[in-house]
Amino acid sequence: MKAAFIDVLDSITSLACIDVFGSYRVGLRELPRPAKGNLIPNLDKEADGNASLVASVVGFTGDDLRGALLLATTFEVIARARPSGLAQQSLSKDSYSDWVMVRDWASELGNQILGRIKNKLRPFNVVLEVSTPTAFSGRALAFAKPKSPLARPFLFDTRGDRVWLWLDASFDPRQVLVSGSEESAKEGDVILF
Amino acid sequence: MGKRVMVVDDSTTVRQEVVAILGPAGFDMLEAMDGEDGLKRLESAEDIALVLCDVNMPRMNGIEMLRLARERGLTTPFVMLTTEGQPELIARAKSLGAKGWIVKPFAADLLIMAVKKLTGSDAG
């Protein structure tokens, strides 16, 4: 299969985010992409003004693609997306330790989204090295201009809450990817040797 | 007391998730926050039946932890529990003696089944 790099990135990034949240029982609906001049909105204004926000960043590098993935949403969405075995334990925005847990899980979700993107790019012979994620939180998060003019913004809705995702990556948009390399193991696979 | 399983992951939530799945299934759970921490615990505790180990972690990644464990003569079985799925990495872990590879997010019943099989445990 042949496809333009930019089209492959758009489709697998959006799907990776939907699939990861879906695997933790949180359904996402993709909304129209933010306008080009508004790639990095002020989250505090776009969200409910009192929303408590959390964001995670994971860097990656490779011969064909390098940059960072940024995931941002509300405390409530991350708390709702916790693994089912832990979901019955409710988290409070008033608890310092619960904020630590929410940042920890936001980091892991960002890591899992990037993991999916990485695994889906592998058959196109695009290989990425992924760094360890980091997360931060606050009430008035806003982000500087993306490093890459090709940054891909994605916006999702879940029960009225927003999930923002940016793939701030440098790549050659004219590059045509050809699939055919060995596929990666898929999410949920259990391989015993 | 069931077989002891150590989960090595820099995410507290992932460790808690694994403990919440395997603890009720009868396993005695131990946690480590990265490869360095995991290696220390593995060297000091002789009764660990299985290590469930993330790959991408700060300080020391899971592949390096596995390599050093083997270099130091530790034969405890490892299963890598990771978002990574690249064939080269899987082959590398296998060549170092890992017994399995699980790609996150994972299903609880499959995790229990794999851990029971690899520990020869009928716990739970």
Nearest by CB to residue B103, choosing from A86, A186, A193, is: A186
Q: pLDDT above 90 covers what percent of chain A? A: 56
Which residues on chain A are in Cβ contact (under 8 Å) with B117? Answer: 192
Cis peptide before A153 (omega within 30 of 0): no
Ranges of chain B with pLDDT below 70: 122-124
For range A131-140, the mean pLDDT: 88
> What span, in angstroms and rounded, lies between the C-alpha atoms of A118 and A115?
5
Tell me which H or E stretch contains B81: strand B78-82
Mutation target for A interface from B36, B64, B83: give the one with most A CBs within 10 A.
Answer: B83
For range A58-79, the mean pLDDT: 94
Q: Assign A165 a pLDDT band (cuts: 50, 70, 90).
A: very high
> What span, in angstroms and rounded, lies between the C-alpha atoms of A156 and A17?
9
Chain B: residue nearest A130 by CA?
B56
pTM listed for this prediction: 0.92
Q: Which 3 state secondary structure label does DSSP give B44? A: helix
Q: Assign A36 a pLDDT band (cuts: 50, 70, 90).
A: low
Which of A182, A180, A187 has its CA nearest to residue A3? Answer: A180
Which single residue is written with the structure tokens 């994620």?
Answer: A133
Complex-level ipTM beyond the 0.95 threshold: no
Lookup: tokens for B22: 């395997």
* Cα–Cα distances in angstroms (integers) from residue A157 to residues A81, B50, B57, in the given order: 14, 41, 31
pLDDT in tens, B55-87: 999 999 999 999 999 999 999 999 999 999 999
Which residues on chain B are in Cβ contact (under 8 Å) with A23? Answer: 105
Which residues on chain A are in Cβ contact (under 8 Å) with B106? Answer: 188, 190
Is residue A39 scored above 70 in pLDDT? no
How far does the CA of residue B84 sit from the closest CA of chain A (Å)? 6
